[in-house]
Amino acid sequence: MSESSIHGGCLCGAVTFEVEPPFKLMAHCHCSRCRKGTGTGHATNLAVDAGQLRWLSGEEAITRYELPTAKSFGKWFCSHCGCPVPRLRRGGKIMIVPAGSLDTAPPMSPTDHIFWGSRAPWGCASGGLPTHDEYPASW
């Protein structure tokens, strides 16, 4: 990777990775799966092509859970500390990177709120970002 790579990892430091920009998108997802998977009002995720992410350490410590009833939802996390880490979508081409797992700020900010219609009633305001009840047609 290059010096523009962004680094991240889990809470205990066992799992580390680097990702090469550019990111495809960064969005706040308010679906019930992301809320349950993070324990928060929404998940903020980035998407990159799978080849843009490289594991530096701890790949063997990652536990993977693929929700059997979902088309592409899964959760990957460190088996030591439980921290969410990047996950490969079932299609095998896109990595979803939890924004909170990054050690440095990504070169972009969130552009959208997705699954806005299913957000928690106590969740955050839109902050002026576009809201979508599902995935935007452009994705």
- Sequence-distant (6+) residues with CB within 8 A of 112 are 25, 27, 28, 129, 130, 131, 132, 136
Choose among 9, 106, 3: nearest CA to 48. Answer: 106
pLDDT tens digits along 53-91: 999 999 999 999 888 787 777 899 999 999 999 999 878
pLDDT-derived band at 19 (thresholds 50, 70, 90) equals very high
The string of pLDDT tens digits covering residues 1-13 is: 677 899 999 999 9
Q: Report pTM.
A: 0.91
Strands 112-114 and 131-132: parallel
Q: How many CB atoms lie within 10 A of CB 22?
A: 11
Neighbours of 70 (CB within 10 A): 11
Using a pLDDT cut of 90, give the percent of the chain over it: 76
- The CATH code of the domain at 6-132 is 2.170.150.70
Are 7 and 104 spatial neighbours (Cβ–Cβ below 8 Å)?
Answer: yes
Query: 3-state class of 116 per DSSP?
Result: helix
User: Any idea what DSSP says for residue 68?
Assistant: T
The H or E element spanning position 49 is strand 43-49
